[in-house]
A and B are shown apart, each in its own frame.
Chain A
Amino acid sequence: MLFPAERRAARKAENLDILIGFLAFFAVVLVVVIIATEVTGGSALLWSPVLLALVLAIWGLWRLRSRLPEPTIERKTY
C-alpha cells in the first residue's frame, strides 16, 4: 500500500511520463520529417527550431521527472 504522499508523487510522475511520451511522439515525427526534407533537398529550417524546442521541453520534463519516484502499480505482477 502506498501512503497518500507517495501516491500523489507517483501520480505526478505518471502524468509527467504521459506528457513526455506525448511530446516524444511529435519529436519523432519531426525527426522523420527533417530527415526526409534534408534527403530530398528541401529546407528544414522551419522544422528544426520546433524540434529543438520539443527536445528542450522533453529534457526539462525529464529533469523534473527524475526527482520523482518510479510510478508503479500497487501490486506486483508475477
Chain B
Amino acid sequence: MSTAPATTAPAADGAPRAAARTRQRWTSTRTYINAGIIVLWCLVPFYWMVLTAFRDVGYTFDQSFWPTHVTLDNFVTAFSTDLGNHFGRSLFNSFFIGICTTAIGLLFGVFAAYALARLNFRFKFIVLGFILGASMFPGVAIVTPLFQLFTNIGWMGTYQALIIPDISFVLPLTVYTLTAFFREMPWELEEAARIDGCTQGQAFRKVIMPLAAPAVFTTAILAFISAWNEFLIASQLSSDATAPVTVAIASFAGAQPHQEPYTAVMAAGTIVTVPLVIMVLIFQRKIVAGLTAGGVK
C-alpha cells in the first residue's frame, strides 16, 4: 500500500494566500462594523425610550446614557385613570381592533389572492392594478369623507368605524403578499388532490391552505402590526371608550397641570412595543420564510 507523499505549499504561494486571508478578514470585519452601525441606529431610539420610561419625571431631560433615578412611577401614571389616562382600556381596544382587522382582512385576502394567482379570468391583472392603486391612496384624503359619512350614519366613536377603514389598508397588503406566495406553489399538489377526488374547494382547503400557513401567518403578523400602529383615522373617528393606544398615548395628561408627560409617554410606548417585539422575536423565522416564499422564480 503506497501513501501519497506529504506535500508542502511552495513558499511563493504563502504571501498571496496570507494577503487573501487578510483581505477576507477585513471584509468580514467591515460587514460586522456595518451591521453593528445599523443595529445601533435602529436600537438606540428604542433604548432611549426604555431608559426614559424608567427615569424619574424630574430627570426627564437627563442626558446620561445609563439608567439613573430609576422608578416605576411612570408606568403607574400611564395606567392612572385619575389623570384621565385610559391606557388599560385602550390596550384592549388596540388588541380588539387589530385582531378583528387581521381576521377579516385575511378571510377576504386569502380568497382574493388565490383567485388572482391561480384562476383564469378576464381583467385579472386589472383587478391587481386596482388593488395596487387602493394601497397607494393617501389615508389622509379619506379622513374627512369618513368623518362625514360615519357622523351621518351614527358610527362615530364605534369599533366598526375604526375596523372597516383599517381593513381597507390591510387588504392590499394581504392580497399582494399572498398572491406572490400562491403563484409559487406547485400545481402538481392541486392536481394530485383533484385526482384523489377532491373538489377545487376541497383541494384549496385541505392541500393548499395547510401549505400556505407560513405565508398566511406572516401576512397576519404584518396586518396586525399595521392595524396596531394606525393613528390617523383612529385619532379622528374614535371616542374615549374606543380609542386605541396610539391615540390614548397622544392624549396623555401629566401628573401636574400643563406638564408634558414625556416619561409616562415613554412608559406607555415601552408597553405598546413589547407585544410586537415578542411576537416578531418568536415568529421571526416564519416571518422571513413567509416573506421570501414568493421571491424565487
Contact = CB atoms under 8 A, between A and B. Distances in A.
Given A21-B133, A22-B133, A23-B133, A72 B126 contact: no
A62 B127 CA distance: 15
A18 interface: yes
B141 to A, nearest CB: 9
Given A21-B133, A29-B137, A72 B128 contact: no
Contacts of B2: none
A72 B284 CA distance: 35
Contacts of B134: 25
B132 A21 contact: yes
A20 B129 contact: yes
B120 interface: yes
A77 B120 contact: yes
B24 interface: no
A26 interface: yes
Query: Which DSSP category, helix, strand, loop or mixed, fits chain B's interface?
Result: helix
Nearest to B145: A36
Interface in A17-49: 17-26, 29
B142 to A, nearest CB: 10
Query: Which DSSP category, helix, strand, loop or mixed, fits chain A's interface?
Result: helix
Contacts, number: 59
Given A25-B134, A29-B137, A78-B194, A17 B120 contact: no
A17 B128 contact: yes
Interface residues of B, number: 21
Nearest to A24: B130
A23 B136 CA distance: 11
A77 B200 contact: yes
Interface centre among A21, A72, A77 (most CB of B within 10 A): A21
Given A75-B187, A78-B194, A22 B200 contact: no
Contact of B126 (A20, A29, A76, A78): A20
Interface in B103-151: 118-120, 122-134, 136-137
Given A21-B125, A24-B126, 14 more contacts: A17-B125, A17-B128, A18-B126, A20-B126, A21-B126, A21-B127, A21-B128, A21-B131, A21-B132, A22-B129, A25-B137, A73-B118, A76-B120, A77-B119
20 contacts: A14-B125, A17-B125, A17-B128, A18-B129, A19-B129, A21-B128, A21-B132, A21-B133, A22-B133, A22-B136, A25-B130, A25-B134, A25-B137, A70-B122, A72-B120, A73-B120, A75-B187, A76-B120, A77-B119, A77-B120
